[in-house]
Amino acid sequence: YMKLDSATQDIIYASYLGSDGDESSSISYSPLMKIVGNHIYISLVMDGANAPTTDGSSFLGDLSDYFIKINATTGVPVYASFITGGNGSIYQDFIVEGNSIYIVGAVLGSDIIYPTTDGSSYPDGSLTNSKTYFKKINNTNYSTEVFTLKDLFNGENFDEFLAQNKIYKSGNNIYSVINMVCDPLDTLVTIPCKGSVDVLVYKINASTGQFNMEMTVGGIKNERIGDRVVIGNKLYMIGTTSSSDFPTTNGTTIQNNSYLGELYFTVINLDTKQILLSTILKIGNSGNSSVTPRQLIVEGNNAYIVGNTDEKQFTSTNGTKFNGEEDIFYYKLNATTGAVLAKSIF
């Protein structure tokens, strides 16, 4: 990591962060950095020993998630730790708010050294099932206030370990939206699956670490989450669906039942679990294209969506045309009604 002078591009400080192993550069384990106040927070996955820690934690083998807090002025680490104290563990996302650090990740191994605050543990020590963990750290003395493990799914699977988890804080709750693979060995404890793959919304009490399964969104086939944003008590999300019965509020439906899926935009009230708006956005006219939603931004009453598609008959509002094997598309929507305000491809 390094800090540059924004005017001259001169290096103010620079340092290596790693172990004696090979820190993974794959997208699943890429370092995540956030700047809050005068500190830099970084989470990453280590694959070797001798990474610096301030709490005496150490690398045990395989993959192990690691968290560090750095003074942004001096570049000097203030706090550094292996988050779970075990092997086969990965971070997925974290939030820094006030005097608390909230971290969510997954474990796939039995060597969890740090005791959980509620007595939860890895179920059987096998390496064929994974659990989600939630950890709350005091941002002053770095003590662990909450550390718990939760098996979101029944069955022998890697779903939690592979989930592209992103978390958001609203009030005293941490919300997450992930893909849920459904099969006889992979059934939610409290919420049934609807199709082959659904979208699961769950929340964690930020004070106690209690997990609550909130709702699933989907139909008889496959749903995938692309991006999601929580603002106040509203969840905005985009993704793809190949279900003819995907819930919409305006009567829109998919053009075909192919596995490729079509783009949806959905808004949910997290307090009431009510779908306020849900619409399927018609990319083009072929009815047989692929679409990959990448990013969602909500500002005021507008929602902006960016992604990739190979839809050769893309219908834009400004005359732009598809030109290549796969192009980038852009939508601007009314975030309350779902009306398309602008649509372009390039």
Q: Which pLDDT belongs to residue 26?
A: 43
Does 243 score more than 80 pLDDT?
yes
pLDDT at 156 over 50: no
Burial of residue 196, with CB atoms counted within 10 A of its CB: 0-12 exposed, 13-18 middle, 19 or more buried: middle
Instruction: Tell me which amino acid residue 93 is.
Output: D
- pTM exceeding the 0.75 threshold for the entire prediction: yes
Q: Which two tokens stand for residue 335?
A: 């975030």
Of 11-20, 27-36, 37-46, 214-223, the poorest mean pLDDT is in 27-36
Q: Which whole number is the average pLDDT over 98-113?
A: 79
| CA dist list (Å): 297 to 235, 251, 310, 331 | 12, 24, 22, 11
CA distance 193 to 187: 7
Least confident interval from 29-43, 155-169, 306-320: 155-169
Distance CA 168, CA 165 (A): 10
Q: Considering all CA atoms of the chain, what is the largest pairwise distance in Å, rounded to the nearest integer?
A: 61
Nearest 5°: phi and psi at 161? -65, -30
Mean pLDDT (whole number) for 207-214? 88
- The residue written with tokens 């045990």 in the block is 60
Residue 288 parent element (H or E) = none
281-336 pLDDT, tens digit per residue, is 988 766 667 888 999 999 999 999 999 998 888 889 999 998 888 899 999 999 99
Place 157 in a pLDDT band, splitting at 50, 70 and 90.
low
Has residue 188 got a pLDDT over 70? no
pLDDT recorded at residue 258: 54
